[in-house]
């Protein structure tokens, strides 16, 4: 028996032209983007279709844009394909901001409220650290234990003798760990990684150091916003980035989403947990194919599908 998890991508999967073919083909998809545009009082759809790329990559735009495309794909599957989420999937999960998309997909949040929360999350994360003070880096060919050890060594500033923030931000699996923190500490971690013979260590072109202790002001902002949000129990379990386990209770989900701002995305463990729960087919909804690639590196025998175009939707519906 095929047991599916629907998974929702995070930052880095966006591209100029995203969702354009979906909206050309399906009124349902146009309606989702129109609702997000209306909610944010911004032509976000125009930015998604036409760019410029540097504006789309600003995190306060990227986050609602990726959610809008993911939910457009889901709504087309549901409304045009006549397939309910609860029939097609056993659980949902998302990478970082994708957890909000997953929650909206499972009916825990409305699309409008999710768009507002992600706009706030993006701007709060951007404002938490002054430009140039934070950084992120990808370490390839390592594991979480080694990344923790590198960060512990890199945290000490040799000039002042004081500790700076540097910590694993994403445990993506397949030997990929992303670290985040003070720029100087992250740069030291990259040098230490190279000295230790890690395959690749490189700074990432991001606008802020996500998922680390420096994001505390953004976590406070999200705590207030989530406390005021109308959060219902999702119709399917959401696999939390923070616990790598099922979450269904709205109060628990709120708490986990606040912790997620400063905490590590436990993607590797989440994928392994879903497999333990019986998932055999991981279906990525939205932009790009990043998560499907990560899943295959964690679980070489898993079946993965990425759905982002009208042709992808048609092929998926035929496969059911």
Q: Is 153 exposed, middle or buried (0-12, 13-18, 19+ CB in 10 A)?
A: middle
Give the Cα separation of 229 and 116 in Å (integer). 10
Which residue in the block uniquely carries the two structure tokens 């999200």? 222
The answer to whether 59 and 296 have CB atoms below 8 angstroms apart is: no
180, 211, 243, 306: which one is catalytic? 211
Task: Give the tokens for residue 32.
Answer: 């989702």
Alpha helices by DSSP H, listed for 2-58, are: 20-25, 27-40, 44-50, 53-56
Per DSSP, the three-state class of 153 is helix
Structural element, H or E, at residue 319: helix 310-319
> Partners of 180 in the beta sheet?
136, 167
Alpha helices by DSSP H, listed for 79-166, are: 85-88, 98-105, 111-128, 144-154
Q: Is 136 exposed, middle or buried (0-12, 13-18, 19+ CB in 10 A)?
A: buried
Residue 96 annotated as catalytic: yes
Residue 182 annotated as catalytic: no
Which residues have C-beta within 8 Å of that of residue 100, sequence separation ≥ 6?
Answer: 63, 67, 94, 109, 114, 117, 118, 121, 257
45, 96, 240, 243: which one is catalytic? 96
Which residues are catalytically annotated?
Answer: 96, 211
């Amino acid at each position: 028996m095929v047991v599916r998890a629907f998974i929702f991508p995070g930052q880095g999967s966006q591209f100029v032209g995203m969702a354009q073919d979906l909206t050309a083909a399906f009124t349902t998809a146009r309606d989702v983007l129109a609702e997000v545009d209306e909610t944010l009082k911004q032509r976000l759809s125009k930015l998604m279709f036409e760019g410029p790329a540097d504006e789309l990559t600003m995190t306060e735009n990227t986050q609602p844009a990726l959610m809008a495309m993911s939910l457009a794909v889901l709504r087309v599957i549901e409304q045009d394909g006549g397939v309910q989420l609860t029939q097609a999937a056993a659980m949902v999960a998302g990478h970082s901001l994708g957890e909000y998309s997953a929650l909206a997909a499972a009916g825990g949040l409305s699309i409008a409220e999710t768009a507002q929360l992600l706009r706030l999350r993006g701007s709060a994360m951007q404002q938490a650290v002054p430009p140039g003070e934070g950084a992120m880096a990808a370490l390839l060919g390592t594991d979480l234990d080694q990344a923790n050890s590198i960060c512990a060594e890199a945290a000490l500033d040799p000039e002042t003798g004081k500790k700076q923030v540097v910590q694993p931000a994403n445990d993506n699996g397949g030997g990929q760990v992303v670290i985040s923190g003070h720029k100087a500490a992250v740069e030291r971690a990259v040098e230490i990684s190279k000295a230790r013979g890690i395959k690749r260590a490189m700074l990432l072109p991001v606008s802020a150091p996500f998922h680390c202790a420096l994001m505390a002001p953004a976590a406070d902002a999200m705590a207030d916003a989530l406390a005021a949000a109308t959060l219902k129990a999702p119709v399917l379990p959401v696999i939390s980035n923070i616990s790598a386990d099922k979450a269904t209770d709205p109060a628990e989900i709120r708490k986990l989403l606040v912790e997620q701002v400063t905490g590590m995305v436990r993607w590797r463990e989440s994928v392994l947990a879903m497999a333990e729960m019986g998932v055999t087919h991981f279906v990525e909804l939205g932009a790009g194919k990043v998560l499907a690639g990560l899943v295959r590196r964690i679980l070489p025998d898993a079946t993965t599908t990425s759905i982002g175009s009208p042709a992808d939707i048609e092929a998926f519906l035929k496969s059911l």
